[in-house]
A = this chain, B = another copy of it.
């Protein structure tokens, strides 16, 4: 039998942290004894619990400690972290510490050093100057200092947001049977607050944003400054460009009550071909071929975007990262400062983004398919909230809240 004492602190009752910790212990076939519990008297007081764990053997205990740290439980006694030297490029040494997306500190020479960029499923690299950064596996280089083992690493669990809210508690999901006008209004408020505090907003977009007719509403939000960074794939960008270029070339104004000209079967391919002939979306904007739409507005207003490639892509557009590892690195580079992420009818890129975000980023996943929303909202320990609704109508109403047509385009 192997034993160890762990501690959790914070709003461990109402953020369900203690319940989850007990559950992880029992599911692992281990046992616990409460050695000390202090429950906060009021809603604002933090609580604290220390538990003595008993596991069948040292291996089981080590695995359990790894699992518990995902939920914010740290060993009570901490020594300095062990740092090993990477023996090859592109892979960690055995026993590497595998990160959570929670705020993390590493103990080096008796002092706790905060990790600069929390990201899950990475390793911790100790830089020569003593700073500590997460790095994904493919970026480690021979000779890097890599934290191994569990000792000397502690995390801070995430409290759930306080106060009454139209959003559900104890579930990461808003069912389809909720007052939707209200929810959209609340998301608008959260965006306002985030911007007011200097936060950035990230929009992650799937092609259904265009198919449901919501792209003009999203473009309005971009023009009104509500989108600071945009992630998408080849499909979203292509269909956005197609609906604007083909619309324009046919002389049809894409007004609110006009159907986006349903691309003939080859339109999207011709659009991609034209952009490839020009070299980039920016070049297509510059020479006047592309005159409106979300991608156009991002280019003209300097809103940075990453288009990550996928194996189903036609073309792809020249701006698309064909190498997916490079795409993820490009996304990482744009994350600092993001405080709200809107996942808009995207599965692939939304999951990719969720993997990269630190736990504290408020994330709203909007999709009409409950299974997709569940999948997105349940990954990791994000403050993610799923909203089961029609992205077309959602963006229409959100844009009316934040960027009424006449204010923006008049």
Contacts and interface: CB of A to CB of B under 8 A. Distances in A.
Contact of A212 (B49, B178, B208): B178
Interface string A156-175: 00000011101001100001
Interface in A158-217: 162-164, 166, 169-170, 175-182, 185, 207-208, 211-213
Contacts of A264: 63, 66-67
Interface in A1-54: 13-16, 18-20, 22-23, 26-27, 29, 31-34, 37, 39-43, 49
A347 B291 CA distance: 33
A394 B392 contact: no
Interface in A258-289: 258-260, 264-266, 269-270, 272-273, 276-277
Interface in A81-99: 88, 90-92, 94, 96, 98
Contacts of A237: none
Interface in A321-351: 321-328, 331, 347-349, 351
Interface string A204-244: 00011001110000000000000000000100000000000
A176, A207, A316, A370 pick with most chain B CB within 10 angstroms:
A176
A223 to B, nearest CB: 19
A163 B208 contact: no
B314 A179 contact: no
Contacts of A164: 26-27, 29
Contacts of A258: 182
Interface residues of A, number: 111
A374 interface: yes
A312 B348 contact: yes
Contact of A33 (B20, B41, B163): B41
Given A66-B265, A180-B212, A368-B388, A316 B325 contact: yes
Interface stretch (A109-117, A126-134, A294-302, A303-311): A303-311
A369 B176 contact: yes
A316 to B, nearest CB: 7
Contacts of A162: 26
B370 A374 contact: yes
A172 to B, nearest CB: 9
A263 to B, nearest CB: 10
Given A67-B265, A389-B368, A213 B137 contact: no
Nearest to A262: B27
A6 B16 CA distance: 21
Given A16-B19, A311-B324, 10 more contacts: A26-B163, A39-B39, A88-B277, A137-B273, A138-B316, A176-B371, A180-B390, A308-B311, A310-B310, A311-B352
20 contacts: A13-B22, A29-B164, A31-B42, A34-B39, A34-B40, A66-B264, A90-B276, A98-B269, A137-B269, A177-B211, A178-B211, A179-B212, A180-B390, A182-B257, A309-B323, A311-B321, A311-B348, A316-B324, A348-B348, A390-B390
